[in-house]
Amino acid sequence: MIKPHGSDELNPLYVADDAQREALSQEAEGLPSILLNSAAAANAVMLAGGYFNPLTGYMNLADALSTSDNMHTNDGLFFPVPILNMTDETGVEAGTRIALRDPNVDGNPILAVMDVEAVESVSDDQINQMVEKIFRTTDPAHPGVSTFCNLGRTLLSGPIQVLNFSYFQADFPETFRTAVEIREEIAAHGWDKVVAFQTRNPMHRAHEELCRMAMEQIGTDGILIHMLLGKLKPGDIPADVRDASIRKMVDVYFPPSTVMVTGYGFDMLYAGPREAVLHAVFRQNCGCTHLIVGRDHAGVGDYYSGFDAQIIFEEEVPEGSLELEIFNADHTAYSKKLNRVVMMRDVPDHTKEDFVLLSGTAVREMLGKGIAPPPEFSRPEVAKILSDYYQTIDG
């Protein structure tokens, strides 16, 4: 199986031994504690599951700036975005051991224990420097920029030990999986080549067929449909609705034992190209050999050009930084001429009128009225689940 990023073995930060975890939990109750923001909590969950291998905790300011500037930590580790614990909490001192409380679970239970190696103030100029590099904009209307700029100005760095996976295991017991568990399932299937499909949205016909195209062209044994389960921007479809619609599509339209439907506990960054590279890093940690990168991957609004997330792998990711390979995908749509879904680059003789194209707004309006989009756009079983959801919010 493909090696994890940056090490020979995966290094999940979840304390898996029951006795050790119980002892750490008891110790944590007597430690000074801080309440994390959602971004830092999501980072802890990803570290716990081995997704951010080989990191052992939160980055310090020097590594945060270096990672933002050139996608490497000071000691040369390739990593595309800083993994931070930013806060406005005061009174924390370097050299202390603290408990980290979960902002996303009632009662704010302890999520992790941290050995604080450094407490550093981050200037507005340094925040702007990181934001410009990570998001390619400092526009506060960008949801990722807005979140990042409001995380706090004190940076706590150091290793962590994680006690649980926040709300993700309880809320998504059939879907949430750690990188460790995904690797184990890939091994159990006996798969060698595995392509990952990233999604924060439901999957329509074009997405479904794109997965098939990638599997056939690469010659993979299976596909990992891997959905984000954390916080999104207002208006995005909730994770439970996406989960149900994707599972229905897989159950009805894919051969048995060819698809793993799973999810991971992270808040969306909307960082476009940089987030695409992060997706590649943690899919390699999952054991995937390939990642589909399509049009406007991890983008939002008009902040990124359609294929910036592919270009970054060609122009900015140093050769040899990743073992995982990228499957570059074009926009896919149903061709009326050919009566099948195609990549637009493969049919240069087509005009816009030759495709079944619907805007997201048009689809939402149809679903809200109980009108199914055409079957060339969305499978009826999927459309039914989404229509039921939209009618509840529109009603």
Dump strand ranges (E) for 254-312.
259-264, 290-293
User: How far are the Cα atoms of 216, 247, 371, 376 from residue 288, in angstroms, in the given order?
Assistant: 16, 20, 38, 30
Catalytic residue IDs: 200-201
Give the CA count within 13 Å in the CB-facing half-sphere of 390: 23
Give the CA count within 13 Å in the CB-facing half-sphere of 107: 5
Strands 332-335 and 259-264: unpaired
Could you say which DSSP state residue 36 is in? P
Give the CA count within 13 Å in the CB-facing half-sphere of 141: 4
246-252-253 Cα angle (round to 5):
85
In whole angstroms, what is the distance from residue 16 CA to residue 35 CA? 23
Nearest-Å Rg of the Cα atoms of the chain is: 21
In whole angstroms, what is the distance from residue 222 CA to residue 219 CA? 9
Give the CA count within 13 Å in the CB-facing half-sphere of 201: 15
In whole angstroms, what is the distance from residue 25 CA to residue 125 CA? 38
- Tokens describing residue 383: 């459309």
Spatial contact of 303 and 142, defined as CB atoms under 8 Å apart: yes
Backbone φ and ψ for 193, nearest 5 degrees, come out as: -100, 130
**Residues 6+ away with beta carbon under 8 Å from 255:** none
Q: Is 4 helix (H, G, I), strand (E, B) or coil?
A: coil
What's the N-to-C CA distance of the chain in angstroms? Answer: 49
In whole angstroms, what is the distance from residue 167 CA to residue 111 CA? 10
